[in-house]
Amino acid sequence: MKKTTLNSIHKELGAKMVEFAGWEMPVQYEGVRKEHLAVRKSAGLFDVSHMGEIEVRGSDAIEFSQWVTTNDVKKIENFQAQYTLLCNTQGGVVDDVIIYKFSDEHFLFCVNASNSDKDFEWIKKEEGKFDVEVTDKSSEYSQIAIQGPDSKTILSDAIETDLDNIKKFRFEIINWNGYDMIVARTGYTGEEGFEIFLPWDGAPSLWEKLMHAGAGFDIKPCGLAARDTLRIEMGYSLYGHEIDEDTNPLEAGLGRYIKLDGDDFIGRDALAESVDEGLSNILVGFELIERGIPREGYGIFKNDTFLGNVTSGTLSPSLDKSIGLGYLNSKVEHDDVIQIQIRDSLRDAKIVSIPFYSK
């Protein structure tokens, strides 16, 4: 298994380590609930160095990025980030990514760890149609995320920099301790937060500095498990669960990131055709009325009729309720009662709005 530069620090902190996407990563330290609530109430620190980074440079960088992604790259400014999708020609999701624009000729794609190699190959094969150079920079970057209402104060103190000018989905290059860092106001938790890209060997010193600066705020290191419960509460899609190469992203509720009326992109025709024909499934949120915790793959029923399967589920630490996401092949309304098959019994649940959690 591959290891991040923070691997020994995680073990010193007592983290339970697991294999994830070929990496040895911390799944939890003190426990999912404590880590989750730290992010909601104060701050949590995540090692996300396993994520991939792909650089696009060249005179056609805008046109190239517009072609390989579904959102409108031309609308973002320098030092602005954008959530978008890579789709295949059938309209399925190759990956969901965040792109960072440095200039008209320079973009950085942050991709999911499980798809890093696949995404690079997918993007690279389009390179010859444009005047661009596509480079896999994943081995050069470590990445740390600090998330929570106190994250800006802690990070600002740690790197001795005023961060007020970095608005949501914006970023700056900040030199700290000899490292040029990309400090982005982005995240995957629904909270105030930042994601910091820095040279591979710089992560340990930044991690220790953030833990020290956050001690008075009861900052906690957080693992993959808390990262998952936080994103489920927000209804964020996770690759391999809500989205994959066979998923229509319009059915996943990601239509606002797909500009069918804009420039052409890979998969546009297939997605436009699916709109004309009518979508057959819809991603919904639900909470259990009866006891039980929904898990991926559990069946969803209504009046003994099978409607679909759970894609993600958990006991929400913020809400103290069991919540989940799933695709249904039949129209349902808010507050409709459905059933989740947990082992050998059907447990009542009701359709609710996404996100599940709001401040």
Question: In the chain, what are the domains?
Answer: 1-279 (3.30.1360.120), 281-359 (2.40.30.110)
Contact in structure between 223 and 16 (CB atoms under 8 Å): yes
Contact in structure between 84 and 72 (CB atoms under 8 Å): no
pLDDT, residue 91, reads: 98
Residues 6+ positions from 51 with CB-CB distance below 8 Å: 110, 111, 112, 113, 116, 138, 143
Q: Is the pLDDT of residue 359 over 90?
A: no
The Cα 23–Cα 103 span in angstroms is 32
Task: Tell how strand 16-20 and strand 23-28 pair up.
Answer: antiparallel
pLDDT, residue 133, reads: 98
Predicted TM-score (pTM) of the model is 0.96
pLDDT per position as a tens digit, 283-336: 999 999 999 999 999 999 998 899 999 999 999 999 999 999 999 988 888 999
pLDDT per position as a tens digit, 4-55: 999 999 999 999 999 999 999 999 999 999 999 999 999 999 999 999 999 9
Contact in structure between 190 and 317 (CB atoms under 8 Å): no
| 254, two tokens | 């990601």
**Dihedral angle at the C-alpha atoms of 157, 204, 48, 231, nearest 10 degrees?**
-40
Residues β-bridged to residue 83: 98
pLDDT, residue 330, reads: 80
pLDDT per position as a tens digit, 205-225: 999 999 999 999 999 999 999
